[in-house]
């Protein structure tokens, strides 16, 4: 069969198969030839739908950021908005740990990342934050999310934890139980997010005014 009546491939099918392969085998194993094989097709066929490998990977990265929830910025509730955004962003990345490096680098040229940033920025502006602060808040929260997804504690240590016990006594106390790794990841992220937001809330009062005081 050279040209089927109904196309074998589509951009969506290729992108979804790519994410599946990355989830299953890791980013390092991903290849255009392997992707073609998984789709029952020859490698050059992919180039009818994507210009090159990087565009396929960009499509995967876009998929992960597309559905991040930025709907929490209502009625000036910036803290709620940031929390919702940060948690859903992290969850989206944590669901595909092998694909995180795709999202972590070169995000700025990707359409869906820019759209997400725009919504967050607008939400912060509408809550009264000055533009420069809005940029920096969005930035620092993004740092926390991407960092948490990139270097989870869970993947951070070798499987045999005993190796650390003698060499790194202080460290060993902390991750004595590898089963706790995911829990520690989640708590580290939540602690960082809560502290960051506490610090921002204090600055908000100085900059924009104490809403509680106004209500009183």
Partner DNA sequence: ACCTGAACACCGTTCAAGT
* Residue 4 binds DNA, judged by CB under 7 A: yes
Q: Are 103 and 117 in contact (CB under 8 A)?
A: no
Give whichever of 48 and 143 is closer to a second copy, judged by the CB atom: 143
Cβ of residue 47: shortest distance to a second copy, in angstroms? 19
- Residues 84, 158: Cα–Cα separation, whole Å: 32
Place of tokens 């506490």: 198
Question: In b/e form, how buried is each residue of 88-109, taking b as 16+ CB within 10 angstroms?
Answer: bbbebbbebbbbbbbbeeebee
**Residues near a second copy (CB under 8 A):** 100-101, 104-109, 114-115, 117-118, 121-122, 125, 131-137, 139-148, 150-151, 153, 155-158, 164, 167-171, 173-175, 184-185, 187-189, 191-192, 194-200, 202-203
- Torsional class of 69: left (φ above 0), alpha (ψ -120 to 50), beta (otherwise): beta
The tokens of 57 are what?
């990977």
* Residue 135 binds DNA, judged by CB under 7 A: no
Site string for DNA, 183-202 (x = CB under 7 A): --------------------
Residues in contact with DNA by the rule CB under 7 A:
1-4, 7-9, 30-34, 36, 41-45, 47-49, 51-54
């Amino acid at each position: 069969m050279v040209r089927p009546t109904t196309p074998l491939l589509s951009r969506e099918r290729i992108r979804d198969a790519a994410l599946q392969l990355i989830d299953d085998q890791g980013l390092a194993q991903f290849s255009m030839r392997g992707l073609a094989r998984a789709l029952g097709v020859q490698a050059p066929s992919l180039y009818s739908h994507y210009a090159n490998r990087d565009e396929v990977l960009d499509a995967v990265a876009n998929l992960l950021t597309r559905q991040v929830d930025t709907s929490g910025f209502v009625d000036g509730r910036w803290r709620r908005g940031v929390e919702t955004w940060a948690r859903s962003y992290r969850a989206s990345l944590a669901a595909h740990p092998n694909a995180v490096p795709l999202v972590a680098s070169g995000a700025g040229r990707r359409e869906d990342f820019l759209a997400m940033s725009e919504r967050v920025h607008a939400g912060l502006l509408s809550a009264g934050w000055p533009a420069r602060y809005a940029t920096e808040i969005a930035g620092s929260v993004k740092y926390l999310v991407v960092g948490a997804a990139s270097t989870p504690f869970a993947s951070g240590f070798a499987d045999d934890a005993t190796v650390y016990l003698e060499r790194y006594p202080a460290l060993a106390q902390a991750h004595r139980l590898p089963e706790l790794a995911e829990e520690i990841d989640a708590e580290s992220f939540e602690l960082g997010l809560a502290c960051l937001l506490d610090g921002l809330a204090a600055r908000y009062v100085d900059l924009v005014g104490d809403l509680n005081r106004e209500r009183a």
